[in-house]
Structure 1
Amino acid sequence: MKIGIIGAGNMGGAIARGLAADPDFCTADITVCSPNNHGELDALKADYPDINVDTDNEKAILGTDIIILAVKPWLVYDVMDPLSPKIQWEKQMLVSVAAGITLSQLEDLSLCTPPAVFRVMPNTAIAVRKSMTFICSIGASDEQIKSVSDIFSRLGSVMVIDENQMTACMALASCGIAYAMRYVRAASEGGVELGVKADLAKDIVLQTMQGAAALLQATGAHPEAEIDKVTTPGGITIKGLNAMEAHGFTTSVIEGLKASK
């Protein structure tokens, strides 16, 4: 499966690096193009000599199976206008990771009805191959959906969803990763106030969050069921939870997610 990536910024670069770092993926099958970001292209080539880089976006569509559009949303039309007539829409799949660009807008860029176009939203953990990525599509066969899912599953977890769920799912994962990091910061600061050194406090919080996530994933339990196991009557955990709720912890999280939608 040959991949062409248009854009070498944070997202395009992270996708390229994640795939190139996968020992089961052929680095020579990756082409990354960017007319402007020469520094990142040079860095990619230095780190992965077999990767193909070019300053001509057209090279990303020549002989590739999947074209990943990883540019800023306001650049999508300018970038795609000269490329659309050269894409083999009957054979090639277009995958956009440009936030806010809908499937309908992507379909309008094509010269084929219906084209196989995908709207894909990873989060920033894609940089360490731990992304929560959402995929929706139009005009794609089951085989094509599997091909795109297989690519992004190398970079983390994947969910195929309906487009009408994309905004809510983005709030949970793309915005949610920032909310999780804000909790890490707050808990670390609390640790410092309790007398723990800052770096140690952060390490403790990070490991605790990883453990909590792993526990819920392994057991499939409801979070409250696991909370009940560590809240003894009159104990310090229930006192801490009640203090957080008194200051609007759950409400703040829910309202933050709703505001992000």
Structure 2
Amino acid sequence: MDFSEKKATILGAGNIGCSIANGLTASEIFKPSQMYLTRRRTDKLNEYAEKGYLVTSDNIEAVKHSDVIIACVEPHQLDGILKEIAPALDAEKHLLVSVVSGAKIKDIQKNVPEGVAVVRAMPNTAIAIRESMTCICSESKDSGPIETTKAIFDTVGVTLEIREEQMSSATALCACGIAFFLRAIRAASQGGIEIGFHSNESITMAAQTAKGAASLLGAMKNHPEYEIDRVTTPKGCTISGLNQMEHGGFSSAMIKGILTSAEKAEKLY
């Protein structure tokens, strides 16, 4: 799909919005000169302006000159910004993609002109390095909006189309999940320090080992337990460490954390 003549607006260029901008330009699907970044305090986007992004606090102006609108604002800000840009939205031109946690498509449609294509997407901050897991959904009978959204986010990681009722769960597992896995890597690095490595050595070793584990699953397509069995030997050190972690509630804590985040995500909007 060719986006060379298209422009995109990121409404609310905070952490996730800027991560999306970085990923989309790194993938070269959009050039900085094709992307509007909006936020109230544009001084926080000076480095992006210097790179050629179209930085502005005027949401309506950005929307008028764009084809794809990606809403990245906080849940409590969504209704206000949708009502603000509604006069500039054109059902024949615009695709509105929301990455706002908890906001359902029907809630978004109440605040925009009838016929505007709405898709929900839930990427994570690894989108900045084109390694996002992005879940997308739409209620449109027309496959065009979902195909366009998929084409965009396929360039910055892996996409999966799911049902809208699964979006809060996707938020917990994929978006919040970045923090969960980072905390696990941090814990592993702290363990490394305790057994004799310097901090910089330990974090490098832990991060690369985590990357290797994830890449192994992606490449081999095996269940995690299959790969675990390959490194656990009778009376070995690996199974001893794993069992100690399970005695401490490692898997249970991760599962409970994901459940708690999913419940919270459902109530954010």
Q: Write out aligned runs for 1:82-161 (5 A).
A: 82-113=84-115, 115-139=116-140, 141-161=142-162
Q: Write out aligned runs for 1:1-261 (5 A).
A: 1-34=6-39, 36-46=40-50, 48-49=51-52, 51-113=53-115, 115-139=116-140, 141-261=142-262
How far apart, CA to CA, are the structure 2 residues paired with 1:110 and 1:152? 23
How far apart, CA to CA, are the structure 1 residues paired with 2:172 and 2:124? 10
How far apart, CA to CA, are the structure 1 residues paired with 2:69 and 2:28? 21
CA contact (8 A) 2:29 2:152 kept: no
How far apart, CA to CA, are the structure 2 residues paired with 1:156 and 1:225? 25
CA contact (8 A) 1:232 1:238 kept: yes
CA contact (8 A) 1:4 1:66 kept: yes
How far apart, CA to CA, are the structure 1 residues paired with 2:54 and 2:259? 42
Moved more, 9-18 or 207-216: 9-18
Alignment RMSD, CA only?
1.7
How far apart, CA to CA, are the structure 2 residues paired with 1:209 and 1:185? 11
SS at match of 2:138: strand
- Could you tell me which runs of 5 or more consecutive residues in structure 1 were left unpaired when the two chains were aligned: none
Q: Structure 2: which amino acid aligns with 1:184?
A: I
Q: Please report how far the alpha carbon of residue 24 of structure 1 lies from its aligned counterpart in structure 2 after TM superposition.
A: 4.7
CA-to-aligned-CA distance 1:106-160 (integer Å, 9 cap, x gap): 11112214x3101111112223222211111122622221111121222222111
How far apart, CA to CA, are the structure 2 residues paired with 1:143 and 1:29? 21
- Could you tell me which runs of 5 or more consecutive residues in structure 2 were left unpaired when the two chains were aligned: 1-5, 263-269
Q: Structure 1: which amino acid aligns with 2:237?
A: I
How far apart, CA to CA, are the structure 1 residues paired with 2:83 and 2:44? 24
How far apart, CA to CA, are the structure 1 residues paired with 2:197 and 2:240? 20
How far apart, CA to CA, are the structure 2 residues paired with 1:23 and 1:77? 31
- Figure out how many residues of one structure are paired with residues of the other and give that number: 257
SS at match of 1:18: helix
Q: TM-score, normalised by structure 1?
A: 0.92
SS at match of 2:135: strand
How far apart, CA to CA, are the structure 2 residues paired with 1:53 and 1:96? 20
CA contact (8 A) 1:89 1:110 kept: no
SS at match of 1:233: coil
Moved more, 167-176 or 139-148: 139-148
Q: Please report how far the alpha carbon of residue 227 of structure 1 lies from its aligned counterpart in structure 2 after TM superposition.
A: 0.8
Between 1 and 2, higher relative CO (CA 8 Å, sep ≥ 6) is seen in: 2
CA-to-aligned-CA distance 1:201-260 (integer Å, 9 cap, x gap): 111111111111111111100111111111111111111111111112222221221222
What residue is the counterpart of 2:265 in the other structure? none
How far apart, CA to CA, are the structure 1 residues paired with 2:84 and 2:180? 39
How far apart, CA to CA, are the structure 1 residues paired with 2:141 and 2:16? 23
How far apart, CA to CA, are the structure 2 residues paired with 1:222 and 1:14? 30
SS at match of 2:110: helix
